[in-house]
Amino acid sequence: MSIVFYWHPMSSASPVASALAELGVSHERVKVDIRTGEQRRPEFLARNPNGKVPTLTVDGAPMFEALAIQLWLGERYGVERGLWPAADAPERLLAMSWCAWAYVSYGAVLSRLYLAGHGEAPRKDAAQAQAAMDDLDTLLAVLDGHLAGRAWVLGEAYSLADLVIGSVVGYSAYLGARIAAHPHVAAWLGRVQARPAMQGDI
C-alpha cells in the first residue's frame, strides 16, 4: 500500500504525523507550505478541495480531515499492532466515542476559544474567551471522571485513542485550557505527551 502524507509542521497534520510514527506505517511525507499558499495549488486542491493539511493519498486515492485519517489508520494498521480495538470489541465503541468527543464536542469549544482569545478583531472578545474556557472546564471534568481509576482512555493499555484525544487536549493546553485543575487529565496528558511518537518533527 502506497501512502503519501501531505503535512505542515505544528499544524492539524501533527496528530496524523504522530499516529503514523506510533503505528510504524511506512509512507512518503510531502511538506505543503501553508504559509506561502502551496495548499491552494490546483494539484493539491484536486486531492483536498478544502486546501488544508493533513491530506493523505492511499494508492493514489485521497483522504482528508485529521479525525477521519486517524480512525482509518487505527482500523487499517492499529488492530494488527494492538493499538486499536477490533471492530466487535466493546472498547471499539469507547474509542470511536471519545475520539469524536475530542474532535467534535471539545473541538467546537476549542475553536471558540481560539477565535475569541487568539483571533483577530472583531472575533477577539475577552468575555467570549472566558465563556469558552469555562465550557472547556466542564468538558475536561467529564474526561477527568472517565480517567479516574484508568491509566488510559480504553483502560489498562495505551491506544491510538489516547494519541487522538491527547493531541486535541494538548493543543487546548497550549491555548490556555486549565488542565492542571483536572488531575487525572493532567497526569494522563503527561503520559501521552511523553510517547516518542509525540516528539520530533511532527
Q: In Å, what is the CA distance from 201 to each residue of 20, 79, 90, 156, 195?
A: 12, 25, 34, 29, 13
CB of 101 or CB of 144, closer to ligand GSH: 101
Minimum CB separation from ligand GSH for residue 40, in Å?
7
Element (H, E) at 55: strand 55-58
Comparing CA positions, the residue from 152, 134, 131 lying closest to residue 143 is 152
Query: Measured from the CB atom, is 44 or 188 closer to ligand GSH?
Result: 44
**Is residue 192 within a helix (H) or strand (E), and if so which, with residue range?**
helix 183-193
For the beta carbon of residue 1, count every other beta carbon within 10 angstroms.
9
CB 14 → ligand GSH: shortest distance, Å?
8
Cβ distance to ligand GSH smaller for residue 71 or 147: 71
Min separation Cβ 55 and ligand GSH, Å: 8
Q: Which residues is 29 bridged to in the sheet? A: 5
Residue closer to ligand GSH, measured from CB, 52 or 92? 52
**Residues binding ligand GSH (CB under 6 A):** 11-12, 34, 39, 51-54, 65-66
| Minimum separation from the CB atom of position 81 to ligand GSH (A) | 23
